[in-house]
């Protein structure tokens, strides 16, 4: 008996974002099985976001969309801990940089798209 084992890719995706659409298109062009998570509609739970951050090797402060008006007006001037930023990202997922692609036990912030290209060569 032969078992076919494959690991799908998960993309945390915003369909309105050009970079996110490009990443999804690249994964599909490469023939990857992709699970799409529209994280603006399906908010992250704390442990899920922690796991994603661990897989991409980044802290919450490293995935903030610092050009977002909300960030600039409400939070940029504040001294926030990583835990406070994590809570903030859960509360306001539009502040999360995108797209994020996960495969097995690793992942990548796929912005710029070259990050995803490099990642696909390694997995």
Nearest to 61 by CA among 42, 41, 40, 88: 88
Which pLDDT band, with edges at 50, 70 and 90, does 7 fall under?
confident
CATH classification of 9-122, choosing from 2.40.50.140, 2.60.40.650, 3.40.30.10, 3.40.50.10490? 3.40.30.10
Per domain, the residue ranges of the chain are 9-122
How many angstroms separate the first and last alpha carbons of the chain?
A: 26
- Annotated catalytic residue 66: no
Which one of 6, 12, 13, 17 is the catalytic residue? 17
Counted residue by residue, the chain has a size of 123
Please write the tens of the pLDDT for every residue from 16-74.
999 999 999 999 999 999 999 999 998 899 999 999 999 999 999 999 999 999 999 99
- CA-CA distance, 101 to 118, in Å (whole number)? 12
Q: With 0-12 CB in 10 A as exposed, 13-18 as middle and 19+ as buried, what is 29?
A: exposed
For the whole model, what pTM was predicted? 0.91
């Amino acid at each position: 008996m032969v078992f076919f084992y494959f690991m799908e890719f998960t993309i945390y995706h915003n369909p309105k974002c050009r970079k996110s659409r490009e990443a999804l298109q690249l994964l599909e062009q490469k023939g990857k099985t992709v699970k799409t998570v529209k994280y603006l509609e399906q908010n992250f739970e704390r442990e899920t976001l922690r796991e994603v951050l661990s897989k991409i090797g980044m802290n919450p402060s490293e995935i903030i969309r610092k050009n977002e008006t909300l960030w600039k007006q409400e939070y940029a001037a504040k001294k926030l801990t990583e835990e406070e930023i994590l809570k903030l990202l859960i509360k306001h997922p539009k502040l999360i940089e995108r797209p994020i692609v996960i495969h097995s036990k690793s992942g990548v912030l796929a912005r710029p798209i070259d990050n995803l290209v490099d990642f696909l060569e390694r997995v």
